[in-house]
Amino acid sequence: MQAMTVLVACLCAAWCRTCESYQQTFESVCDELPQAGLQRRWIDIEDEADLVGELDIETFPTLLIADDDGVRFAGPLTPQPETLRRVLRAHLDDAQPAQVDAHYGVLAARLRGEA
């Protein structure tokens, strides 16, 4: 049986000073995770506008956690390492899909190469 792939994507913008300082936090906290099959992705919403599509990101950083069954979490976070750790732990352990804007599901499918 193949292990499920879990995607963790951070949506930011190059002009955002908060995002600039948060990228290292995102990478180091993701490195702490023992999750097999974890894929992480840093997405500049302007440089990768075609990928982001109709998704309207107004608050940075915004996190997307998705697996083969759907989106587990999508929304903005405060840019502290402990907040990211807490959200990742909670949603990596909870395999229940979240009720989120359908555009997050489209983005997750694109990132998995399904669309």
CA 53, CA 87: separation in Å to the nearest integer? 25
The predicted model scores a pTM of 0.84
pLDDT digits (tens, 9 = 90+) for 41-90: 999 999 999 999 999 999 999 999 998 888 999 999 999 999 999 999 88
pLDDT digits (tens, 9 = 90+) for 11-26: 999 999 999 999 999 9
Please report, as a single letter, which amino acid is at residue 88: L
Helices (H), the chain: 17-32, 49-52, 81-93, 102-111
User: Which domains are assigned to the chain?
Assistant: 6-111 (3.40.30.10)
**Using the 8-state DSSP alphabet, how is residue 60 labeled?**
S
pLDDT at 1 over 60: no
Query: What pLDDT does 32 receive?
Result: 87
